[in-house]
Amino acid sequence: MHMPKSNPSLLEEPLRALVEKIEGPFQAFVEQTVERLVQDHFANWPKPDPQYTLSEVAELLAVDISTIYSYLKKPVGHLHRLPFVQCTDTPRGKRIRLSDILVWQQHNSSDALSKAKQEEVEQKVAAMGARRRARRGGTSTLA
């Protein structure tokens, strides 16, 4: 038995219509899936831990810089000691990690910031990060 050859033009139009019909929703599905996978992937990466100068920390905590110096001089293990990173051999080379500031705030319950004050600190941190990115000419969301 001889099968007739199918005419490409007969299949072409229905296939084109089918592709057009599913192309939009399929593309949206693929984009959403890829976006979710990328977010899940980066959610597991370590977050950046920016370091701040002593004057920036004083600004963040709304205290005088001499108060910050006194917190740095406390003995290791003292409740009010604020850990720092020595970046150079000069006093100006001391930096304090954001994670250390946040932990320090939690440990000092008598000095703990109110929720409004905590939000103010978070806004200042975001503003400082934006200023740093602007100085560096970058647009990264990692501060």
- Mean pLDDT over 58-70 rounds to 88
Q: Is the pLDDT of residue 57 over 50?
A: yes
Report the share of the chain in percent with pLDDT over 70: 80
Element (H, E) at 53: strand 51-53
| Contact present, 97 and 50 (Cβ < 8 Å) | yes
**Predicted local confidence at residue 8, as pLDDT:** 57
Mean pLDDT of 33-61: 86
pTM (2 decimals)?
0.52
Q: What is the pLDDT of residues 88-123, one digit of tens each?
A: 776 678 899 998 988 888 777 544 456 666 777 778
What are phi and psi for residue 86, nearest 5 degrees? Answer: -85, 110
